[in-house]
A and B are shown apart, each in its own frame.
Chain A
Amino acid sequence: MPTIRTVQIDPNATHAAEVGQTPHALGLNLSWNKAEQEAVTRTLAKYPADRQRSAVIPLLHMAQRKCGGWLPVDAMQLVADTLSLPYIRVYEVATFYTMFNLKPVGKHHVQVCTNCACLIRGSDAIVSAVKDVSGIEHNGETSEDGTFTLTEVECLGACVAAPMMQIGTHYYTHLTADKTKEILQHLAKGGDPAKYADTAPTTEADPIHNGKYGA
């Protein structure tokens, strides 16, 4: 089980440093802005009035997006306060699920699938290509300039298009080492992430901030 990252309370801190036992907030004083507040309201309306706890995971997704791709303890507390839950009820969820990052990640979180189908189709070469472009040496590290974080992940469910990786919300499939380098260099230059994406998301419906119906 992952451990919640903690730091000395320092309002200027941007990176959590130590692994410890007691979660400490960074003193970020987070609150939802107006657009987020509306999304919170839409999300809560999906669940029965006495079952608002169901919104823990959707709100953690929103909080992670708000915080640039990871969840400081402050963000977990914001979610708990929004739902009037004890903090532990949110900490235990945030630490259980793989998609919630408990330490900061780079601007582009590169998640390479190395499970069976991708392994057979050559995911080793994809991991090496990511390391070559980013300068990252080990799984889980962030490049020095903060552009990329590399994580080897479990099956992402695009096995017939292996090898593949996910960066941000997008899937990049049918990869080769060269194509991987091309995508990463494109992103490093500030290119549009959707350009090489496998599936174009629709602009009408944002699954994290929620669609207009069914709310």
Chain B
Amino acid sequence: MTTLPRLKPEDKCFPNLDGSGDWGIKGYQKRGGYKGLKELLKTPQMQHIEKLKASSLRGRGGAGFPTGMKWSFMPQPKLDEKGKLIPLAKPSYLVCNADEGEPGTCKDRDILRYDPHTLVEGMIVGCYTLNAKVGYIYVRGEYYDESSHLQQAINEAYEAGFLGKNILGTGVDVDIHVHLGAGAYICGEETALLESLEGKKGQPRLKPPFPAGFGLYGCPTTINNVETIAQVPPILKNPTEWFTRWGRPGNSGTKIFSISGSVNKPGNVEAPMSIPLRELIDEYCGGVIGGWDNLQAIIPGGSSTPMLNPEQASRVLMDFDALKAEGTGLGTAAIVVMDKSVDVLRVMTRIAGFYHHESCGQCTPCREGVGWVHRLMERLSQGDGTIDELDQLFALTKKIEGRTICAFADGAMWPTQGTLKHFRHLFEERIKAKQSAA
């Protein structure tokens, strides 16, 4: 089997992801960071947005929305008849979503602690491109040690003149602030994050209006994941092909994959998009514990994405479109591997419990339904119930999915649907065993 070449440091957006080098400003500059920043801040904003579109960068936070298109929704100042800039009516904001909480996902944590300047530089370029003078980085509250690294990186960038007023003499002003959350998965949903940043309960807003028109404090706002923002400077500094040479069309670039669970060497790795899942596990993570034949199931993109069975896992490519075609998704590219020793029903019940705990309580189908699904999963995974209830459980998930303000309930139902699809026989075996014992 031929394998893709390993990325060299100069191919990567995050050369220090493994933490082997200095995460401070000196180490970052030695790796080429902040080089060419001045030129980026002098280039017309629309040129940056066009280049992002050409790179086909898609959001790394889970939804995979094209970043260039998202950024093009933000208002740009227009010229009046005399060619003078008409200032925008309201301030614009760039908000970075570092509220990483999807079970299995831990890539942003390593960016924050091992390469925080990639995010800082991304915020500077992003704020400039979107005409924002202020950017907020919303970090989950549990990442205290990690956010201390980020705050130090921000301090260093101010001292070096990369942040503040008139950056490097370009006339661009950018301030960025770290804002700690306090433990709520739902705040990773962009409008819930904005509510939380405004000092309220993190309950998602109805859309429309979308944040690009009415976001933070009612002003135009773009919200992007840490990895997305940090990938912007290298994309803009290099030729378009530097990024698009990796992956299939529409799924370009490099991506951080977090591989956890039953593998010999779990870890975060930056690899080309569209890499075969099996190659990622065998070549980068020392293989499945007990060998590939010992594989039971794989969650490909964080707990919300339905599982793959071994047959699917052995052929699927890790990108947005390939995983969608398998009925699941790339999500955050958080791969959770389960070998045959794992009680997969227990794991999926635990995941159902997670969504039960994290529902924000705003919409009735989710608030009541997610708990109902969890309780059914708890009972049925122990074999306490009837075969009919498996159909009832599936029907219930279909009555919750798509009937709420945000996508939380959908993401909460998909794993249960995936479990019923691939492991219905396990439920049935346990139910029958209990029945014959009784």
A interface residues, Cβ below 8 angstroms from B: 1, 46, 48, 51, 53-58, 60-61, 83, 89, 92-93, 96-100, 114-117, 119-121, 154-162, 166, 169-171, 197-202, 204-208, 210-215
A2 CB to nearest B CB, Å: 11
Q: Is the CB of A160 within 8 A of B267?
A: yes
Interface size of B by CB at 8 A reads 72
Contact B182 A99 (CB under 8 A): yes
- 1/0 per residue, CB under 8 A from A, across B230-266: the answer is 0000000000000000000000000000111110001
| CB closest chain-A residue, reference B217 | A51
A200 touches B347 (CB 8 A): no
CB pairs A–B below 8 angstroms (8 shown): A115-B354, A155-B303, A157-B140, A197-B145, A198-B145, A199-B145, A211-B178, A214-B158
**With A48-B217, A99-B183, A154-B101 in contact, is A119–B346 under 8 Å at CB?**
yes
Complex CA gap A212/B336 in Å reads: 39
- Which residues of the other chain, A, contact B102 by a CB distance below 8 angstroms? 155
Q: How far is the CA of A65 from the CA of B180 in the complex (A)?
A: 14
In the assembled complex, how far is the CB of residue A123 from the closest CB belonging to chain B, in whole angstroms? 10
Restricting to B68-123, which residues have a CB under 8 Å from any CB of A?
100-106, 108-109, 113
Residues of B within 8 A of A170 (CB): 144-145
Contact B140 A160 (CB under 8 A): no
Residues of B within 8 A of A207 (CB): 139, 144, 147-148, 151, 178, 180
When chains A and B are docked, how far (Å) is the Cα of A175 from the Cα of B259? 17
- Chain A residues whose C-beta falls within 8 Å of the C-beta of B183 in the assembled complex: 97-100
Chain A: which residue is nearest B218 at the CB level?
Answer: A51
Determine which of A48, A120, A159, A205 lies in contact with B155 in the assembled complex, contact meaning CB atoms within 8 Å.
A205
Question: Are B180 and A58 within 8 A (Cβ)?
Answer: yes
Q: For the complex, would chain B's binding face be called helix, strand, loop or mixed by DSSP majority?
A: mixed
B binding-site residues for A, Cβ under 8 Å: 100-106, 108-109, 113, 136, 139-149, 151-152, 154-155, 158-159, 163-164, 175-185, 196-202, 217, 258-262, 266-268, 299, 303, 334, 336, 338, 342, 346-347, 350-351, 354, 357-358, 360-361
- Knowing A46-B177, A160-B258, the reply to whether A200 touches B145 (Cβ < 8 A) is yes
- Measured in the bound complex, the distance between the Cα atoms of B144 and A161 in whole Å is 17
How many angstroms from the CA of A200 to the CA of B23 in the assembled complex? 12
Q: Is the Cβ of B198 less than 8 Å from the Cβ of A160? A: no
Q: Which residues of B contact A159 (CB under 8 A)?
A: 103-106, 258, 260-261, 266, 334, 336
Tell me, in angstroms, the Cα distance from A98 to B154 when the chains sit together: 27
Q: Give CA–CA (A83, B200) in the complex, Å.
A: 13
Chain B residues near A155: list those with CB within 8 A.
101-105, 185, 303, 354
